[in-house]
Structure 1
Amino acid sequence: MTATEGRCWPCGGWLVAGARGCGTSRALVCESRGVPRSEAAYAAHFCIPDRNSTSRGVMKLPRPRSVLGLILAGFTLVALPLIWAVYRGADHVEQLAVQSEALVLHAVQVTRESKQLAELLTDMERYARQYEILADAPLLRLYEEKNNGFLAALGTLEVLDSKGAMRERLTAMRGAAVELRDSVAGYVPGSDDAPIDIGGFARVGDMVHAIATENIRSIDQQVESLRRTATDARRSLFWQSAMLVPVTVLLAILFTVLIARPVRQLGRAIHLLGEGSYSSPVSVSGPAELTALGEQLDWLRRRLVELEQEKNVFLRQMSHELKTPLASIREGTELLCDGTVGELSDTQTEVVEILRESGLELEQRIENLLSFSAWQQSKGQLTVGEFELANVIDTVVDNHQMEVVTKKLKIRKSLKQVTLLADREKIRMAIDNLVSNAVKYSPVGGRIAIRISRKAQRVMVDIMDEGPGIPSDERERIFEPFFQGRVPPGRHVRGTGIGLSVVHECVEAHGGKVGVRVRPTGGAHFRITLPVTYEPQAA
């Protein structure tokens, strides 16, 4: 078998160089794959379809692989039934409008002509009576004018009577009108031989009234016919809409699901990444663009896991590396303060005191870094047990007693006895950070208030100080990791931005809340709200 040069476009067979095929002018033969030489000769003029074309020939519904194609296909399929329904409705409305317009025009013309017949007949009778008494020629001419108008109005009615329903009545009326005209025209004043037939006007008037009544009845019939047509059109549109609405709704739901499902998957993945949950792989099914975006998000997830691990390792190593020289600095400072190396002057004592306070502050920041690193590693893992919340607060206050005495602070505690079922260490860490901030930012001689209250199954811990407080524009962000607000007056170094984020995560892990409350007298007021009994959140 000679080498093929592609497939025949009409049938899918194989094109072989050297002969005619498929009726084209190209010197190609369309030969089926695997056909013997004897059959190949037969294929010199005819295209033999591929033996595997049966499976390939099965029609498959096209499925858009892109978001744009899917949206366009959805809009098209959803809009087509609606467009058809609108077209049908517009066609019915147009037909009804044309029929209504014709009916109104016909009714107006018929009514106008019928009214004109009655008015002309009245004038004709008046002029005929006057002419019979006065025998004045101008009165006869006026009668002739009204009579001609009467006959013209009859002619208009005959034209309007396209169906011939009033043809006999109009013909009879025309004959009666002609007889009246002859009666008036043939009247000889002063002679009693041929008087004017005044009673004929009454008979013609009855005919005019009968025609008017017939016109009204005809109009009523046409209005009723139009009403039935409108009712039929409304019923037809209703059933068409009743059939189209489910189809349109199903198509809309189908394409909404096809579009919304991958979007929801992306949204869920982004939400998990935003919450710092990197354990679940990102999988998106749908159009090619969204699938590719899902793969990029999964790559981002893996990269964030690596960066998070590197960050935690760095924090742990750096914190431990800083604690070693800091311990030496602290010991040396304490020796200088105790006078072990000799008496110090007042200026030297002041400088050593500054060094001591700075060392304590640096130690607290390193502890915050270690706490943050430890929390990131054990995030979501709580060791739950029962404990007295007031005991935890007493322990935290005792740990800060040295700073409290140094700054001559007054701590007022109002601690209600509440037994919590929670992670004692995490709760201690959260309260310790808030008490540490209160001590740090309180002025010398200031007051700190710590209160425990309970409401139903919730317990509130309020910690208030007289420091500079939290600016209103920073209250929404102070719980974000590493957020640093403006430097408070009297201080020259910003915080690390870790302490409050640890508080927030510890409280949130217990299903509680922490927030900043407005304090009219100034200072900061933090409130922790916790459930009395910790209940693990469903995954």
Structure 2
Amino acid sequence: MLRYFSFRTLLIIGFALVALTPSAALVQLRYGLAGLTIKAQQQQNQASDWSNAVQQSQEQALHLERASRQLLILPEATFLNAAHAAKARLETAQHIFSQSHNPLLMQSSEGIHQLLAQITPTAKIKKAQANALFSQLSEQLKKQDRLIEQQLAEQRRQWLEEVSSKQKQVDMLAILSPVAALSLAILMAVMFSWPIGQLKRQITQLAQGQRGQSWHLAGPADLQGLAKSLAELDLRLVQLEAQKAQFFRHVSHELKTPLAVIHEASSLLQEEVLGSLNTQQKEISAMVQSNVHTLRQRVDALLAHDAGRWLSAELVIAPLALEVFLEQRLQQWRILLSKKLLTIHQSGPATQSYADHAKLGIILDNLLLNAIRFSPPHGEINIRFGQTGQQSWLEIQDQGPGVDSQDSEFIFEPFHCGPAPEGESAGSGIGLTMARSFAQLMHGDVELIPSPAGACFRLHWQLQGHS
């Protein structure tokens, strides 16, 4: 459903829903209070009408009784007309109760009407009968008065209960309205942030070298459009890396084959297989062979750097015992260490770390090779390692001439070659670049740190195995 709306549209809808939730509660409260006000006004008017009616009934009952008694003493038309008029006004006053839709008041009014039907203003009615009828009428009117008070009290009680109930609703709305608005806001935030977070994770994985991901996204239309563009970019990167891998293979063959031929030819000349050489010819032959060897090293380093950087960027994190791993890497350099009579000093606790074994091995090989090449004969190489927080670290320090201050800013640049050690050819200029690239892939770095003597390189990387 979200795919039919843009992020902006969904954001507007979300804000509208969050704003409408308390607004709807306020509207409901307004109509509820208006209903209570109208009902209170109606009850007030009804109470006034009932009070006036019962008061008028009692007054007309007194007029009826007075006129009837006067008629018994002196049968004149004036008293007869007054009695009939009082009776008619009494019946009219009781008419409001007959139409009140209140069963008790309707029953009371019906009883009074029955009594009035028995009271006939005439001089022939007996005094005892008249006394009994008027006594019953007076009693019925008193009962009606008490009944009205009870009904009005009951109505007030019911109204107060409704007011109390409405107050509880108001209190509940005061609590639920912000809770509902906050819940809705959180829901909308989750609905928006989840696809964004998913997209962010996939972009991070894409940057780390993971290719061919599924870019299907359940989210707004514009985010789906972005995911589609990233899917096309992912596919394009896969194609480019395949083309680059193929290019590396072709370059490797096209460059290494003629270099191998030149190297073999120069070796034959150097060994005087085709005839003896004079001194100048030997120097030229040695120069050719040396430069072929250097060029081949440069080509191998370039291919290894680019292949390692682009084709093997995905990390394979696994646990390792740092001290044991370091000892295994040193075994490969024992011949060079023995040749220069170098001593290795290691210091650090037995540390359980996590890293990409292949990339960490390449980093250590490059740092160790630099330390061996620049160390003087009978020198020492100090290796320190340990953990700080969520990072492992390792330092390799030699006793060589160190790094010139002018070169320290450029030693990690590709193909930057500093002064070569005495008696050795210049390096490829790619080893430290590869070391830093692989360290950064493991969320770490390789740095040149200040040292009183020689050069000291510090490697650190994130313990990703804990996450």
- Partner letter of residue 257 of structure 1? V
Aligned residue in 2 for 1:216:
none
8 Å Cα contact 1:484-1:495 kept in structure 2: no
- C-alpha distance in structure 2 between counterparts of 1:280 and 1:289, whole Å: 19
CA separation of 1:487 and 1:260: change in aligned 2, threshold 3 A: same
Match of 1:245 in 2: 178
Q: Structure 1: how far apart are the matches of 2:319 and 2:255?
A: 32
Deviations 1:490-513, CA, capped at 9 Å, x for gaps = 99x99877544543566678x795
Aligned with residue 343 of structure 1, among 268, 278, 295:
278
Residue 250 of structure 1 and its aligned partner are, at CA, apart by 1.2
Structure 1 stretches lacking a partner, 5+ long: 1-60, 88-234
Once the two structures are TM-superposed, the CA of residue 276 in structure 1 deviates from its matched residue by 0.7
Partner residue of 1:259 out of 186, 192, 197: 192
- State the TM-score, normalized to the length of structure 1: 0.45
* Number of the residue aligned with 1:517: 448
Aligned mate of 2:329, from 374, 392, 400: 392
Compared CA separation, residues 258 and 380, structure 1 to 2 (3 A): closer
Note if contact 1:515-1:528 (Cα within 8 Å) is conserved in structure 2. Answer: yes
What is the alpha-carbon distance in structure 2 between the residues aligned to residue 85 and residue 265 of structure 1? 36
Match of 2:201 in 1: 268
- Tell me the residue number matched to 1:288: 221
Once the two structures are superposed, what CA deviation does each residue of 1:46-103 show, in whole Å capped at 9, x if it has no partner?
Answer: xxxxxxxxxxxxxxx999611111111122222345679999xxxxxxxxxxxxxxxx
Q: What amino acid does structure 2 have at the position aligned with 1:460?
A: L
Alignment-mate amino acid for residue 246 of structure 2: V
User: Which aligned pairs between 1:404-419 and structure 2 lie closer than 5 A?
Assistant: 411-415=342-346
- 1:72 is matched by which residue type in structure 2? I
Measured in 2, the distance between the counterparts of 1:337 and 1:250 equals: 84
Aligned equivalents of 2:347, 2:269: Cα separation in 1: 42
Q: Aligned runs of 1:477-516 on 2, under 5 Å?
A: 478=412, 484=414, 488=418, 499-500=431-432, 502-504=434-436, 513-516=444-447
Give the secondary-structure state (helix, strand or coil) at the position aligned to 2:218. Answer: coil
Query: C-alpha displacement at 1:424, in angstroms?
Result: 7.4
Could you tell me how far apart the structure 1 residues matched to 2:410 and 2:403 are? 16
1:1-400 alignment to 2 at 5 Å?
Answer: 65-80=5-20, 241-334=174-267, 341-345=276-280, 349=283, 355-372=288-305, 373=307, 376=311, 380=315, 389-390=326-327, 392-396=329-333, 398=335
Structure 1 residue 399: deviation in Å? 6.1
Which whole-Å deviations, capped at 9, do the CAs of 1:510-532 have from their partners, x for residues lacking one?
x795521312447643234589x
- Asked if structure 2 preserves the Cα contact closer than 8 Å seen for 1:435 and 1:463, the reply is no
Give 2:448's aligned amino acid. R
The structure-2 alpha-carbon separation of the partners of 1:63 and 1:459, relative to structure 1 and needing over 3 Å to count, comes to closer
Pair 1:461–1:394, CA change in 2 (3 A)? farther
2:327 maps to amino acid: A
Q: Is the 8 A contact 1:283 1:294 kept in 2?
A: yes
CA distance in 2, matches of 1:303, 1:259: 28
Counterpart CA distance in 2 for 1:451 and 1:496 is: 24
- Letter paired with 2:279: L
User: What residue number does 1:451 align with?
Assistant: 382
Q: Secondary structure at the match of 1:517?
A: strand
Q: State the percentage of identical aligned residues.
A: 25
Mapped partners of 1:248, 1:420: distance in 2:
49
SS of 1:362's equivalent in the other structure is helix
CA distance in 1, matches of 2:379, 2:24: 75
Confirm or deny: 8 A CA contact 1:514 1:526 kept in the other structure. no
The residue identity in structure 2 corresponding to 1:296 is S
CA RMSD of aligned residues (A): 5.3
How many positions carry a matched residue from both structures?
Answer: 313
Change (3 A) 1:497 1:334: same
Q: Which residue of 1 aligns with 2:133?
A: none
- Cα distance 1:484–1:427, how it changes in 2: closer, same or farther (>3 A)? closer
Counterpart amino acid of residue 342 in structure 1: L
Residue type of the alignment partner of 2:12: L
1:460, 1:529 within 8 Å by CA — same for their partners in 2? yes
| CA distance, structure 2, for counterparts of residue 448 and residue 359 of structure 1 | 31
Match of 1:460 among 371, 394, 404: 394
- State the 1:427 CA deviation: 5.1
Preserved contact between residue 78 and residue 251 of structure 1 (Cα < 8 Å):
yes
- Cα distance in 2, alignment partners of residues 337 and 415 from structure 1: 43
Q: Is the 2:4–2:221 contact (alpha carbons within 8 Å) kept by the matching residues of 1?
A: no
Query: CA separation in 2, counterparts of 1:299 and 1:363?
Result: 38
Closer, same or farther in 2 for the Cα pair 1:344/1:400, shift >3 Å? farther
Give the Cα separation in 2 of the matches to 1:258 and 1:384.
Answer: 37
Separation in structure 1 between the aligned mates of residue 287 and residue 397 of structure 2, nearest angstrom: 27
- Partners of 2:266 and 2:229 in 1: CA distance: 53
**Cα shift at 1:248:** 1.7
Whole-Å separation in 2 of the counterparts to 1:439 and 1:327:
28
What do residues 143-193 of structure 1 show as CA deviations (whole Å, max 9, x unaligned)? xxxxxxxxxxxxxxxxxxxxxxxxxxxxxxxxxxxxxxxxxxxxxxxxxxx
Contact 1:512 1:530 in 2 (8 A): yes
Q: How far does residue 318 in structure 1 lie from its aligned partner after superposition?
A: 1.1
DSSP 3-state at the match of 2:190:
helix
Separation in 2 of the partners of 1:513 and 1:461? 13
Work out which structure has the larger RCO, using CA pairs closer than 8 Å and 6 or more positions apart in sequence: 2
Q: 2:34 maps to what in 1? A: none
Q: What residue is the counterpart of 1:28 in the other structure?
A: none
* Gap change, CA 1:485 and 1:263, over 3 Å in 2: farther
Q: Give unpaired runs (5+ residues) of structure 2.
A: 28-167
- After TM superposition, the score normalised by the length of structure 2 is 0.51
Distance 1:379 1:63 in 2: 32
